[in-house]
Amino acid sequence: MKISQSMIAAALIVALPLSAFAGDKDKTQAPMGTTATADFKSLDTNGDGRISRTEASRDTKIEFASADKNSDGYLDSTEFAHRDSMTDGTMPSDPATPRQ
pLDDT digits (tens, 9 = 90+) for 11-44: 767 766 665 555 554 455 545 446 778 889 999 9
Q: Where are the domains of the chain?
A: 27-86
Nearest to 62 by CA among 46, 41, 80: 80
Global pTM reads: 0.52
Quick one: fold of 27-86? Recoverin; domain 1 (1.10.238)
**Is a pLDDT exceeding 90 seen at residue 96?**
no
Instruction: Please provide the average confidence, as pLDDT, over all residues in the chain.
Output: 74
